[in-house]
Structure formats: C-alpha cells, structure tokens
Structure 1
Amino acid sequence: MQIYACVTADGGSAWGAAKPEAELSQADGRVVGHHFEGPTWEAQDGSRVAGSVIDQAPAPKPHAVAWLLLSGRASGSGMLAGTRYVLRRDTDGGEKPAGGCTPGQTTRVPYTATYTFYR
C-alpha cells in the first residue's frame, strides 16, 4: 500500500507524500520481509536498508508510482547486508488520488513493484 495523508497546501489542501506499507515476497510468493516509511526495507532475519532517492522516472503504466533508483544504507547481517542500491521498477498502481481531500484525511492505495537490491 501507499498511504497518503491530506495536508494544507497553498491555501487549500492536497495529498502529501506517500508512506509505503508492503510485504516483500520472493517470486514463489514466500514473504521474506517488509517495506515501510523511510523508505526502509527489513528482512525477516533483521537486516535492513534505509534508502535515499537518487533518480526517478515516470512509470510506463498509467496511475503507477514512479520507478526509483535509491542509494542504500544497510545494517545488520543477513539477506540485505551490504546493500548499496535499491531499484524499484515494474510498478502498478499506488498513485495519489486524483480528487480533493480534507486535511487530516488518509487513504491507502494498493500497488505492486519489483525491488532489486544491489551490493
């Protein structure tokens, strides 16, 4: 999910930046971790990566969140140890709602993506 909160902006209101809340799954569907605000990815073995956006590109699919390249700061030992970059691609869904909003309101928008972790 991408979670958006409505904020006051330019004398009106608008949907703010997204906060992710997602499970990380292998191709076979096995859950191996989760993705949350930061952006941060944490494997079930306790290793984690915090990311900072380096670059982005519009998604080829309509209403999909952008593709991202992020630098990574890894911690712990395990699956995500040593990760230096994270690539988000093949996104589907997750874009901010098109309509207006009331400050304080939140909405959850489903999305999928492929995340690749590079050491």
Structure 2
Amino acid sequence: MSIASFAARGAQIYTCIAGEGGPVWSAAKPDADLAQPDGRVVGRHFEGPTWEIQDGSRVVGSVIDQAPAPQPHAVAWLMLSARATGSGMLAGTRYVLRSDTDGGEKPAGGCTPGQTVRVPYTATYTFYR
C-alpha cells in the first residue's frame, strides 16, 4: 500500500575517482528537495540513500532492483528495500520506488580525479508499507 509520493528536484552528484583502467565517475549521491503535489517542499533526499521529512520521519534504502529509464540521459528507475525511523508520515515504510526520472545520468567521457559535477534531475519517489 502506498503511503506517500513526492516529486524530487535536485542533482545527482558524481566525483571522479581512480579506477583500474583510469579515472571514472563514482556512483551518484543525491541532493534533492521533496515536494508534495501542491509544490510545497516537505523534505529532502540525500546520500544513503536517505529521505527525510520535516515531521522527523526518515527512510534509508537499499537497491533491490532497477530498470533503465524510458527517457534518454535519465537515471534508472529503482526499487529499494527500506528501513524507516520516526513516527511521522514515512513510519512503516518497507519499500521505495524511484520512477518518472528525467536527467541525472553520469557524464559521458573522461574526468580528472577529484573533479565533482552536479547533474540536475527530477524523479518521483513513492513510499510503500
């Protein structure tokens, strides 16, 4: 059962790291606001991945499945298992779905170790019990 859905707007942050074959972009770290359908920002999404709502509830997720986004240059759609804390809106969350993504894909081409880039993205995050 869905308990909440939020529109996310922000960036996927990539850092260039040394890889076996040369420098590569790291896995993304999100930095986004979470908004209700009326546009009111009620929380944030950040590294972990973690979602935190202003009522104090928090969810930390772990990817269990993914599918390529239908939009070109968009981050994948994800299904995550979740661990919720707090007694607010997200209490009892067991799964999170990231869908409707636009943008956020890691840069194409090479990089210089230590270089960081913020790639704008939007998505919908739906929380399930």
Fold match, TM over 0.5? Answer: yes
Taking the TM superposition and a 5 Å limit, the aligned residue runs for 1:49-88 are: 49-88=59-98
Q: Secondary structure at the match of 2:73?
A: coil
Q: Distance in 2 between matches of 1:22 and 1:30?
A: 13
In structure 2, the residue matched to 1:14 is 24
TM-score, reference length from structure 2: 0.91
Sequence identity (%) = 82
Question: In the TM superposition, what is the alpha-carbon distance from 1:99 to its structure 2 partner?
Answer: 2.0
| Structure 1 position 33 matched with structure 2 position 33 | no
Q: Distance in 2 between matches of 1:18 and 1:88?
A: 14
Question: In the TM superposition, what is the alpha-carbon distance from 1:96 to its structure 2 partner?
Answer: 0.3
TM-score, reference length from structure 1: 0.98
Question: In the TM superposition, what is the alpha-carbon distance from 1:11 to its structure 2 partner?
Answer: 3.7
| Structure 1 position 91 matched with structure 2 position 101 | yes
Q: Distance in 2 between matches of 1:97 and 1:26?
A: 29
- How many residues get paired? 119
Q: List structure 1 runs of 4+ shifted beyond 6 angstroms.
A: none
Where structure 1 has 5 or more consecutive residues not aligned to the other structure, the ranges are none
User: Structure 2 residue aligned with 1:100, among 110, 121, 129?
Assistant: 110
Higher strand fraction (1 or 2): 2
What's the CA shift string for 1:70-97, capped at 9, x where partnerless?
A: 0010000101111000000000000000
Higher RCO (CA 8 Å, separation ≥ 6 residues): 2
| Structure 1 position 109 matched with structure 2 position 122 | no
